[in-house]
Chains A and B, each alone.
Chain A
């Protein structure tokens, strides 16, 4: 390793400043330099650094929970009405709110954006571990369905069922949580990964339906660890568990890799 190797310099800087960056302890210029250094790292070092930033933030978030405090209850209405007013105003990049003079012309596009926000908020609730068994999450008829992926629509339909159950389990041997929202009456489950890393290269996460009366059935591949890409699993009858393994790219007909999660339905 040469002393003037820019990648080695970047690695040293990331190692030196990672925790300070994670809690916003760096002055602006050093934070910018840190981000530039992060971009210079090789793929696997960068992934590790991002995971470390994430788990540092998770750690201080748990500490911060110790200081939870109720705000003025009237704030709730103000927050929700701010969100409603967001229909007529758009934020600028720095967070200031400016009046949108083209509000009328853009109204349709914004309705689409709101529909996306709605599904995303529903997803955050699932991932956030908030069990919601109410019917209010069904897709309203006047919202354009084109705004949502089929998966998000399926998620909303599962969440709207009265028998919806949400299960979470930590992944074994790696960071991340598998969250499963399932409904027997809908015969459907929606699987989301929270805080998970990409699988190793040329590997993929594969889901399995497991039951006493049948061999494990493939329930699909997790195409992306993004929480925005839930996997919809149908045909739950006869199965009690959804399992996840790490398989070679493309998946396997039967599980061959390590089981990283098993969620009992």
Chain B
């Protein structure tokens, strides 16, 4: 089937990034595989709703994947009242595990350089939220920090990352 081929190409171009992200949030390969399937079904069904103002295609698909993974983490927390176990140490970049040829070397260098401009506390709060799937009040509880403190760490850290990446694109 011909439209299936186009979709298969889209899967091939994006699946390692989506899987890497949802697995990091869910910390369980089985859940991550289930979620990956759900994500691509959703992409298939909603490709017609994609609009350019939602951002680039890969970040649109990653946003769908992140949303699903986060929802799953939070609904499990709500049903089991299980504590938060995410450890920041698992979120460090394992450079040699990068398998995606689409990411160019310059792009990766920019990401690493720009992450280096964040303070340790900014990066810790963002990682707990983005890769740990925690809401900011959960991050605050986990770090035993005040809500406004965590809020501004996440906000200021992401602003810094964003503007650094934008600047490096122009240079």
Contacts and interface: CB of A to CB of B under 8 A. Distances in A.
A79 B56 contact: no
Contact of A71 (B16, B59, B129): B16
Interface string B97-109: 1111011000110
Interface residues of B, number: 85
Contacts, number: 266
A226 B49 CA distance: 10
Given A27-B137, A195-B56, A75 B33 contact: yes
A26 B58 contact: no
Interface in B98-139: 98-100, 102-103, 107-108, 110-112, 115, 126, 129-131, 134-137, 139
Given A70-B99, A118-B6, A120-B47, A83 B40 contact: yes
A66 B111 contact: yes
B162 A56 contact: yes
Interface stretch (A4-12, A14-22, A37-45, A245-253): A14-22
A21 to B, nearest CB: 10
B33 A95 contact: no
B54 to A, nearest CB: 7
Contacts of A56: 158, 162
Contacts of A18: 155
Given A22-B158, A68-B20, A82 B40 contact: yes
A119 B158 CA distance: 35
Nearest to A134: B5
B137 A121 contact: no
* Interface of chain B: mostly helix, strand, loop or mixed: helix
Given A59-B165, A70-B99, A83-B7, A23 B130 contact: yes
Contacts of A78: 37
Nearest to B165: A59
A194 B54 CA distance: 9
Given A19-B159, A66-B108, A128-B58, A137 B44 contact: no
A235 to B, nearest CB: 26
B26 interface: no
Interface of B: 1-17, 19-21, 23-24, 29, 32-33, 36-38, 40-42, 44-45, 47-48, 50-59, 62-63, 66-68, 70, 93-95, 97-100, 102-103, 107-108, 110-112, 115, 126, 129-131, 134-137, 139, 151, 154-155, 158-159, 161-162, 165-166, 169
